[in-house]
Amino acid sequence: MAQYLIGDLQGCNEPLQRLLHKIDFSASRDTLYVLGDLVNRGPDSLGVLRSLHGLGDAAQCLLGNHDLNLLGIRHGLRKPHRSDTVQQVLDAPDGEALLDWLRHRRMAMHEHGWLMVHAGVLPQWSTAQTVALAAEVECVLRGPDLAGFLKGMYGNTPNRWQDSLDGADRLRVIVNALTRMRFCTADGAMEFATTGGSQTALPGYLPWFEVPGRKTAATPVAFGHWSTLGADHAAAGTAGLLHNTLPLDTGCVWGGCLMAARLGSAPGQFEPISVQCPEAQQPG
């Protein structure tokens, strides 16, 4: 009985199948925790969704920004970008069932001593608060006004958390932190334009996991979303944590590797297992 963390798949089903074969994954015995961005940019988003859906409760998946974008496209709130590769899901005979399954995925989890998110955690949030705020978003995702929530989800403001936030502003900040954030200020103001490595922060900003006094500092945090960071960390060949976090987007869709972290007996312990990926990003 083993538990595995895995980062962004982004429509790369063939590497996923090779990785599952390499770890001898059994849905009756093991659990896979996928940290969001299941779809888009890679060649087989439909295959990824069918594969994970078919694993039942053995695949516990988070939602990433690309997954939410797919829901936005489905509801006519976003136009597909020229690099998007999700039309196959929208056209599939089982597409609606898969999208309904997708909207019921989690935004954050705290399992086996690990906090799991797609992108990041604001420094003011504790582990318990992060999971509670994620549940607020999960509730509206599963509710009757999904289109209304998605319509109000987009935007960069407010760019920081306040307990007094309510309505669409409150949900937008939660979504942006959990699915888009890389950098923020020491007091939690988020910046979304910078996508390079951890050394590319604008003046006054730093990687969210480096903020002094971060309330989740004592909890190991696994996250995806940041391929330049995750690929560099994997290439360093270290099995250690980065400020008690584990970046697991190792750039599969860009020709990097796809890595699973087999969880150890204590929180923060893991064994990395990876397969190499051909570059799957579509032109444009």
Spatial CB neighbours of 2, under 8 Å, sequence gap ≥ 6 = 23, 29, 30, 31, 262, 263
Judged against a pLDDT cut of 80, whether residue 183 lies above it is answered with yes
Tokens of 59: 């695949």
Alpha-helical segments (H) within 142-256: 146-153, 167-179, 227-235
Report the chain's terminal Cα–Cα distance, integer Å: 42
Q: Do residues 280 and 252 lie in contact, with contact meaning Cβ atoms separated by under 8 Å? A: yes
CB neighbours (10 Å) of residue 166? 9
How large is the average pLDDT for residues 177-196? 97
Distance (Å, whole) CA 97 – CA 267? 35
How large is the average pLDDT for residues 109-138? 98
- Residue 281 pLDDT level (bands cut at 50, 70, 90): low
Tokens of 79: 């136009």
Spatial CB neighbours of 130, under 8 Å, sequence gap ≥ 6 = 108, 110, 115, 117, 121, 178, 216
- Residue 232 pLDDT level (bands cut at 50, 70, 90): confident
How large is the average pLDDT for residues 161-184? 98
237 or 98: which leads in pLDDT: 98
pLDDT digits (tens, 9 = 90+) for 204-220: 999 999 999 999 999 99
Judged against a pLDDT cut of 60, whether residue 284 lies above it is answered with no
Tokens of 93: 């005979």
The tokens 């699973």 sit on which residue?
260
Please tell me the pTM assigned to this model: 0.96
Mean pLDDT over all residues of the chain?
Answer: 95
Tell me what percent of the residues of the chain surpass a pLDDT of 90.
92
